Structure 1
Amino acid sequence: MSPTKARDPIPVKERNKAYYQLKFTHGLPPGTDSFDQFEKNPRHPRAPATPKRELPALPPLSERHGKWISKYLDTLDPETEYDQIIRTAMWFYGGDFQTAIGYACVFVWLVTTPAGAAAIHGRKVTVRGHQRYYETQMFNLHWVHWGSGSAETREYCEKINRTHAQVWKSVPGAFAHPWEAQAAIILLSWYEQFMRRTVGASNDMHPQVQMAWPAWGERVTGWFKAEPGDGSLSFGINYPRDFKEVEEFCEWYCNFDFDDQRNAEDIQKTHETAESFIHQFCELWFPRHLQFLGRGIILTLLPKNIRRKARLEDPHFVLKIFTKFAFRAIFELQDWMSDPVQPPIANFYKDIQEWDLSKIDARETGYRDQQAHRLQLFGRTVAFCVLGFLVLLYYIRR
């Protein structure tokens, strides 16, 4: 492998795979066993597993009592029924707020590399951030709903391949490194585990879900392709084979010190794009005068090394304590309370398929503008009343 040195900026059209390639400073990405495997003879993603039996159905509504989801997951085989395990976990354990946090945090990770920053900077996340978020969630839920090896999932992945093709025409080389591209799915599969450990939750993710994620992710990333100039390699090559390798990959990525391989342009694009993802999350979920809370949540749920690479500040210690306490309570309650009878994410999935996402940013911005205006009027009214009361009190006491 030819190492990449710290780069001087060159015209975008003259850039290629080598321009964005990072020199590994602390070993190969977990899942890759040798440089020969990395460069010439990759381990290709496995074909969809052959079923060994008829898939066990979800229990009827009348039998969904207590911790029924965990019991059902224990009946499934993670080697062949990984799609159903992930589908059940995402449908019943997930929520739109949790997916929004995962989306923002994962993409902040992804834009820390020069290729990731170049591919995403200044595009839809900046001008239509909410549309991009909902479209991403819709695709993710399509893959979960239809299964990693289905024709429907392949069709949706091809749509993203076509979107990527538009990017690599303007940013050659940005989609040439499979390990960076597959990191999106790897991080997605691991982030709940990271959140639980960060906030000090008592339990890890369900063991069956841990075993199913690598099998599911390998098949999904297998549908994505690198740039034609690089042989249209599958992004699923050398994918982590088990959850231990998934965790090792995320730790490796987090600790990969490539600052001296980035130039000022890379760092600026990383920072600006990371700020765009954080702003989108805050604008979607918090009134503007409380968006510091949303920022504190994201900063707390990002590792320190990732914050450093993105040139983000550390969370305020009070917000950090509050965030950890709140999310630990959420996880503890989730693990203690009875499982939901109906899938909480189902309505969200249905809604985003029906919405006109091209208008979602204007709608959300208009809502926040009106909310800010109402709060401003309320504040002025309260201030006027207090001032009037104080003036009245002053004259009465005279």
Structure 2
Amino acid sequence: MNEAPKKWIRQEIESLDPETDYVRIWRLSSSYGLNEFMSGLSYVTTFQNFVVTDWGSEAIWRDDGGKVLKRPFGRVEQTEGANFIWWFYGPHDERTKKSVDAINRLHAYWAKKLPGRFSYNDDYVYVAAYTATSMHRFRLALGLPGFLEKEKFAAHKFWGEMTKLFVAENNTPLHGYPDDFDGLLAFCERYEHEPRPRVERVNLIVSAFHEQFVFRFFPKELHWLGHQLLRALSLPTTLETAQIDPPLPAAKQLLPKLLGFILSYQEEFADDPQSSYLESLEQLSPEQKVERRAEMVELDKAFGPYFKQIVHDDAKFSGCPFHEALKASTPATGTTSAGAVTEMERTSVPHAH
């Protein structure tokens, strides 16, 4: 007779007081059960929403693509590493404060080069509001139960404390954080539906995020499927602003349900993990860490030429300066360090409307 799966996370959450244990509740809700694939999926479907403004895309893409093209996988590792520290240790831990302080200093550095781009208070509040509600919204989109009431309370309080650590341009404290979890949801809806110009840089950044994910996790023959999955899980407003086609109706209908079924099955029949994703990374041997870094370096080397070859001939952006710059910097051989670009890969790229 099979043993029942060892379940402890939900049981512990239900035993905690969200008023005093909100850091622990958030940690249990967000830091366990991740893997490379789900972490990468979360990164793309989350961070694409933070670059949809003209000024935000300028700060990320700059003139030549920045780390989006030169160190895309290293950038993901760096960003995720900071997030995992915040989620696990919480806003009052010195490791979190040190990490956020480094982010504030980085923003201050770039604000001197791009004055005004880091001054929009609502952009920062949206990052906190979206992050606090993202797992709840994601689960609902997959047909799974959302957060418990105490998880909602804990998420709201946790990210309210996190916003106190960040500053906008010129060391300006943030303001306007919503009063409760429903307020966070309303703030996100309002922010996401604000009219925005369709900027070429936004298309390039979001397209690069999408290509980066399928480049790593899908064989060439299934790149189209990776793109459809990402589009099916993306906010329609983000796709529209980024000038990326929506998912096919069948993909929008079926892929979230399929992913929801897989996660539901794991939650029902698999043991809860004993270690968080951050702890599992920290427990890698020195050799495994070296191997992981080497893999990121190789992916970084391969992706820039690969991405340029795919997107620089997009007729819908013919004559646009950033696409033209990519075209000028792309070898004329038709191949990249990742190999020849097939017709299937070309047609799987997110296109502009």
User: Which TM-score tier does this pair reach, normalised by the shorter chain?
Assistant: 0.7 to 0.9
1:239 and 2:164 equivalent?
no
Alignment gaps of 5+ in structure 1: 1-63, 377-398
Q: 1:293 aligns with which of 225, 236, 242?
A: 225
Match of 2:49 in 1: 109
Alignment gaps of 5+ in structure 2: 307-335, 343-353
Q: Residue 168 of structure 2: SS of its match in structure 1?
A: coil
Q: 1:132 aligns with which of 69, 75, 79?
A: 75
Q: In 2, distance between residues paired with 1:301 and 1:87?
A: 24
Q: Residue 241 of structure 1: SS of its match in structure 2?
A: coil
Q: In 1, distance between residues paired with 2:294 and 2:129?
A: 31
Q: CA deviation at 1:221?
A: 2.3
The 1:65/1:322 distance shift into structure 2, 3 A limit, reads closer
Q: Residue 92 of structure 1: SS of its match in structure 2?
A: coil
Q: In 2, distance between residues paired with 1:184 and 1:284?
A: 26
Q: In 2, distance between residues paired with 1:120 and 1:205?
A: 32
TM-score by length of 2: 0.76
Q: In 1, distance between residues paired with 2:68 and 2:205?
A: 8
Q: CA deviation at 1:373?
A: 6.2
- Paired AA for residue 186 in structure 2: E
Post-superposition Cα deviations, 1:105-124, rounded to whole Å, max 9, x if no partner, equal: 12211111122212212221
Post-superposition Cα deviations, 1:354-390, rounded to whole Å, max 9, x if no partner, equal: 458875543225789999769x9xxxxxxxxxxxxxx
TM-score by length of 1: 0.68
Q: In 1, distance between residues paired with 2:153 and 2:285?
A: 29
Q: Contact 2:44–2:209 at 8 Å: present in 1 too?
A: yes
Question: How is 1:87-236 mapped onto 2 (pairs within 5 angstroms)?
Answer: 87-121=27-61, 122-201=65-144, 203-228=145-170, 232-235=171-174
Greater shift after overlay, 291-300 or 343-352?
343-352
Q: CA deviation at 1:94?
A: 3.3
Larger radius of gyration: 1
Q: CA deviation at 1:341?
A: 4.2
Post-superposition Cα deviations, 1:150-208, rounded to whole Å, max 9, x if no partner, equal: 2221111111112112221221111111220232232222222222222323x112333
Q: CA deviation at 1:272?
A: 1.1
1:323 and 2:255 equivalent?
yes
The 1:366/1:127 distance shift into structure 2, 3 A limit, reads closer
Post-superposition Cα deviations, 1:181-240, rounded to whole Å, max 9, x if no partner, equal: 232232222222222222323x11233322211111122222111111xxx1223x2222
Q: In 2, distance between residues paired with 1:221 and 1:357?
A: 32
Q: Contact 1:119–1:174 at 8 Å: present in 2 too?
A: yes
Q: In 1, distance between residues paired with 2:215 and 2:133?
A: 25
Q: Contact 1:146–1:152 at 8 Å: present in 2 too?
A: yes
Q: CA deviation at 1:73?
A: 0.4
- Paired AA for residue 142 in structure 1: I
Give the total of aligned pairs: 301
Post-superposition Cα deviations, 1:290-311, rounded to whole Å, max 9, x if no partner, equal: 2222211111111222211111
Post-superposition Cα deviations, 1:313-346, rounded to whole Å, max 9, x if no partner, equal: 0112333334123212023224423541422513
Post-superposition Cα deviations, 1:26-80, rounded to whole Å, max 9, x if no partner, equal: xxxxxxxxxxxxxxxxxxxxxxxxxxxxxxxxxxxxxx96442111101111122
Q: Contact 1:134–1:352 at 8 Å: present in 2 too?
A: no
Q: In 2, distance between residues paired with 1:79 and 1:281?
A: 38
Post-superposition Cα deviations, 1:117-164, rounded to whole Å, max 9, x if no partner, equal: 122122212221111111111101111232211222111111111211
Q: In 2, distance between residues paired with 1:290 and 1:349?
A: 32
Match of 2:329 in 1: none
Match of 1:362 in 2: 297
Q: In 2, distance between residues paired with 1:170 and 1:352?
A: 40
